[in-house]
Amino acid sequence: MYGGGNTFEGIASDSLATEDPEKLAAFEARIARGEKIEPADWMPQLYRKQLIRMIEQHAHSEIIGALPEGTWITRAPGFKRKLALMAKVQDEVGHAQLLYSAAETLGKTREQMIQDLISGKSKYSNIFNYPAFTWADACFISWLVDAGAIVNQLANVKGSYGPYCRALDRICAEESFHLKYGHHCVIYLAAGTPKQREMFQEAINRWWAPMMHFFGPADKISAHTQVLMNWKVKMATNDDTRNQFLDMYVPKIWELGFTIPDPALRKNTETGRWEYTEPDWEEFKRVINGDGPCNKERLEVRRVAETRGRWVREALRSATMKYVEPLV
């Protein structure tokens, strides 16, 4: 089992033995019937902890995920691309807002979540710890990272925790626009000059390994999949979502005449599954535990935002602040 080196061991070994067996059975029966669990409903501590962990990491991924693309807003080629990218980045930050609110319903405050992010205690998606060197890297994120996120989220939208599923529902709708935008950017490069095609090929070469890691460790070493699937928080395993992504997007990449830097990549027509070189899980582990190419830079941006934005939050919370009726 993959340990991740921090909070996870504690959560995984958490025992259900102290839970009231009748309440636990009723809770599991509700989940089996496909009912949604709402914040005021009884739930086992382990379900609560797992949800907080996963939703919080998802929220952090959205705000950190805004950074590599965000640096391209001023350099995006042309006014329309700048406008579209600005709207997309703003959407990602909005997704974080929805997700932090969903996690707050489980009892962890937003302040604590942000503290845990900037102190390095909480995780966020591995993929945003890599640099977006070129415009083609930004296009890769908008098309293929968004595509990966949609595959995962469309599965989990049917999950058991009401507030998370409702947040995902709205997020998926917005992500589908991002996907179209990203695809359009890539088609433009693919139909462009040899240099533009070369730029996108280089982006694929750089991002393929982090993209394979994005769906999480292989099922055989994943720590949380089983418990999350039992309680319908996760509706597909890591290998299943990775396979679904490959099924949907590898043919599209190949159709555009690009190559993928994995000589073993092929669909096994008998099993219907994709075969690929086993991703380097040691690199994945290093990156998600703080030692990737951009981890320090990403967290520093959040630290600065937290410090500089403090006065705004304090002003909003201030008891002296009153609503003033508009003069109309």
Residues that bind ligand FAQ in the complex, under the rule CB under 6 A: 2, 4, 6-8, 53-54, 57-58, 61-62, 65-66, 69, 92, 123, 125-126, 141, 145-146, 149, 152, 213-217, 222-225, 228, 234, 238, 288
Other residues' Cβ atoms within 10 Å of the Cβ of residue 42:
13
Answer for the pair 138, 68: CB distance below 8 angstroms, yes or no. Answer: yes
The residue sitting closest to ligand FAQ, measured at its beta carbon, is 8
> From the CB of 139, what's the least distance to ligand FAQ, in Å?
12
In the bound state with ligand FAQ, the residue whose beta carbon lies nearer, of 16 and 191, is 16
Closest approach of Cβ 218 to ligand FAQ, in Å?
9
Considering beta carbons, is residue 148 or 253 the nearer one to ligand FAQ?
148
Q: Please, are residues 276 and 246 in contact by the beta-carbon 8 Å criterion?
A: yes
Q: Find the shortest distance in angstroms from Cβ 231 to ligand FAQ.
A: 12
Q: Which is nearer to ligand FAQ, 245 or 274 (CB)?
A: 245
Which of left, alpha, beta for 222 (phi over 0: left; psi -120 to 50: alpha)? Answer: beta
Nearer to ligand FAQ, 277 or 307 (CB): 277
Query: Among residues 206 and 234, whose Cβ is nearest to ligand FAQ?
Result: 234
Q: Could you tell me the smallest distance in angstroms from the CB atom of residue 267 to ligand FAQ?
A: 22
Q: Nearest approach, Cβ of 55 to ligand FAQ (angstroms)?
A: 8
Closer Cβ to ligand FAQ, 22 or 44, answer by number: 44
**194 or 305: whose CB is closer to ligand FAQ?**
305
DSSP string computed for 268-286:
ETTTTEEE-PPP-HHHHHH
> Rounded to an integer, what distance in angstroms lies between the CA atom of residue 199 and that of residue 182?
15
Q: Are the C-beta atoms of 174 and 112 separated by less than 8 Å?
A: no
CB of 258 to ligand FAQ, least distance (A): 20
Q: What is the dihedral of CA 283, 298, 225, 148, to 10 degrees?
A: -90
Contact partners, residue 84, CB within 8 Å, separation at least 6: 76, 181
> How much of the chain is in helix, strand and coil states, percent to nearest 5?
65, 0, 35
**Number of neighbouring beta carbons within 10 Å of residue 266:** 11
Shorter beta-carbon distance to ligand FAQ: residue 122 or 201: 122
Q: Minimal distance in Å, beta carbon 295 to ligand FAQ?
A: 11
Looking up tokens 């520093």 gives 300
Q: How far is CA 125 from the centre of its chain?
A: 6
One-character DSSP codes across 138-177: HHHIIIIIHHHHHHHHHHHTTSSBHHHHHHHHHHHHHHHH
